[in-house]
Amino acid sequence: MGKLISGNYLNTECAKLKALAGYYLYTELVVELGFPKQHILFCSNHGENSTSTREAFKSAKIALPTIYEKADSRVQAWVKSSYENPYSRLRRGIIEGCDYVNKLVDDKLYFNTYVNKNEPIKPEDIHNYLAVIKNFLPLREPANKKDLYKLFVRTLSHEWEAADSIRSDKNKKDASLAWVMRNTRHWITHNSNLFSELDEKMIAYLFIVNLRVMFDSNDDSLQHYEKILLNLFSEDALSEIHFKKITGNKLIPISKAYLDINNIVLDEKQNGINIQDAFYFNELANNIQLSGSSFKNDKPLFTKLLYQMFWLSTSNPYIDKSYKRSLLEIKFWDFNYAEKPYLNALARHIYNASF
């Protein structure tokens, strides 16, 4: 026969459980799941619960964590610091981004447009790739993040070894951003030292670009994972109002960035360094890497070049042959960075890092 349990009994037992809920949650997270203790803050507004919790830890012979009152100013400071922690924010954005595009693999995969049509990447390989990326950053923030970030970029860019055909696409106007990932793959393979000082911002930038060019979701709105990652740039981001004033290509210093890299190549050639000439920005940057130039190991320079490639692979150069008949002028194709919400947000947030 069944046993009847009175409502009073249930209320009493629930009250006992509630008083020790923090203890049970803490031990489950730390002991069973290996969750970092420094990521847990014990708070209580009830003195009797605090006493019960302390006794539970003592009986279990587990070191008692500091228990704060919720009104304590240190609690608010800790919550703010934890919420804004760059590593945690980067990790969360990567996890949510992989979850989002994992649903697009079967019918929205664009990556095969860049590879040999006779050797397409299989959907199951992309699923496995995303699983590795999603779980790459450990829950516990490592003491040496820079080595981890370099390995992450090597893994993130690995698939781009197969890319051999990157061109503009009228149906996917951001397709040419794949040059960012193709060059990243080439550089980290042949000169990984360039990526030994990466910060969370660059990882976030590469991750966003990578997912956008690997998949064509037909959804140009800013995704939740992108909002999380772009918050890493929030202090340097241009305001919507300010950016609207400079979105005309003539007001974005694209031509100066192009002139600067050309001058590096010209100066090095005059100094006897064998660097091949090129017309497109990504080719100029890559040719410096292929040469014996001292600039090839300039980490700040190539960090900036990766950001600038966002602008100069979309507003790429062309020659205006009609300029004063006998002269040639290099101009840059207009590209409306405000046309797509995600592009608008990405452009605003990386502008200062680019120029």
The torsion region of residue 325 among left (phi > 0), alpha (psi -120 to 50) and beta comes to: left
pLDDT by residue for the chain (355 residues), tens only, comes to: 555 555 555 566 666 666 667 777 777 777 777 777 777 776 666 555 567 777 777 787 777 777 777 667 676 776 666 667 999 999 999 999 999 999 999 999 999 999 998 999 999 999 999 999 999 999 889 989 999 999 999 999 999 999 988 988 989 999 999 999 999 999 999 999 999 999 999 999 999 999 999 999 999 999 999 999 999 999 999 998 888 877 766 789 999 999 999 999 999 999 999 999 999 999 999 999 999 999 999 999 999 999 999 999 999 999 887 655 556 788 999 999 988 999 999 999 999 999 9
Burial of 301 from C-beta contacts in 10 A (0-12 / 13-18 / 19+) = middle
- The answer to whether 152 and 210 have CB atoms below 8 angstroms apart is no
3-class SS of residue 115:
strand
Q: Which is it for the CA torsion 337, 265, 262, 166, positive or negative? A: negative
- The answer to whether 275 and 268 have CB atoms below 8 angstroms apart is yes
* CA-to-CA separations, 222 to 124, 226, 230, 345, in angstroms, rounded: 27, 6, 10, 7
Amino acid sitting at position 71 = A
End-to-end CA, the chain: 78
CA distance 297 to 284: 15
Q: Say which residue the tokens 């009250």 belong to.
A: 15
- The answer to whether 52 and 166 have CB atoms below 8 angstroms apart is no
3-class SS of residue 105:
helix
User: Nearest 5°: phi and psi at 318?
Assistant: -150, 160
pLDDT at 244: 83
User: What residue spans define the domains of the chain?
Assistant: 7-83, 86-355
3-class SS of residue 193:
helix
Tokens of 83: 């919420």
Q: Where are the extended beta strands (E) located within the chain?
A: 42-43, 67-68, 317-320, 329-332
Tokens of 190: 């042949």
CA distance 224 to 86: 16
pLDDT at 26: 77
pLDDT at 65: 77
